[in-house]
Structure 1
């Protein structure tokens, strides 16, 4: 509350001494942000977290904002896939500080989870270093890390564009945005009841039928029937096999 009063008094004094009318008071700004926060669906954890962090930056004594930040942080942490660093590379040149990372992430994942992980990594880095841009490549555990990312890619840079890293001074983040590309998600709803070797056999059998002239959908239907699976489950196994380069006939 002290922060609000200080800003409000400063704005008021500027007006009194002819330094210009304030466009909007901090109190009005908070009310506007609160109104917007109230209409964000509760399941949008990251959006809610960002909204209450903004409010907390304006009034760090408000217990509601603190409580909401803790609540949505916990919600996000409960849904985020596990991850671990594979490699990191310093791509800096002269005064332009750039870094890239390859990260293994559990399946399945989605945009919200990758954004949460990315923000956590970026915030950790810029808390101790001044950067221009950070690039994060995400891979599923079974994929080849020397190839293109299999889970997703996140860029944190001016305008969300890696090529614009030189547009700002290291440490100036006013123009920084995130951009994200998420690969097709595998739900793996069947994985709890199937071993890795069994899934690989299903994949192998589908590919063998397809190579012997059975149409794609027919091969899926036959293998699904033989293994007591739904066609969409077999389709997901085939997608996973393609991604993980499982053995083929």
Structure 2
């Protein structure tokens, strides 16, 4: 046990050093960093503000108030941006570049666990502005959703955010692993990652039946945010699903992430180095 704890502390120190080096390099040009951070926040801000300005003209959004949509949107955006901050090194274009240029070999030669190096290879500090903005939208949703907040409701939504981080992180790992075979990134993965994030940012009942069921039963994204929010709002789950289905995000996300890293290990064994 002592060796396990000591190893974990050692790896944590290595991760902090890798992230620290990333942050120092990004802050060399402060003005450029500020512009990048502002531009990153503008993406999220513009999308939600445009929606918030239009919604009052219609008096609601398929029965959802602005506060309720903000709760759903803020959770999805906060989880995805935090995931992107942590798992950015596994993004398919990033891994594809390493595979294509042969720089992935340098990761394999270092006496540091490979996943730890990938985690610490792409920490985009500019995304913290999107984290702050997403947290602000979520706070607005919490205040405006009209929910009697209990400890159980808070824990459920916190578990939902963690489940989404694991779920989309797993998709990033899968997309990055596929480049060991394809070299170039697989664009179809963007439909599941960035497209999936956009889809679950809004109530699933606004979509057609086939799309909603695809992202419920084939790709279980609806379990991650929509079902927990429905439960907190006191609304029934679709298709007659039992209420306990709202508590599955903390199971679905880690399961996908574990499967993704198992697939990652297969992909690493498939990698033969540049020029081979």
Give me the TM-score of the superposition, normalised by structure 2.
Answer: 0.20
Q: Which has the higher helix share?
A: 2
Q: Which of 1 and 2 has greater Rg?
A: 1
Q: Which has the higher strand share?
A: 1
Q: Which has the higher contact order (CA 8 A, sep 6+)?
A: 2
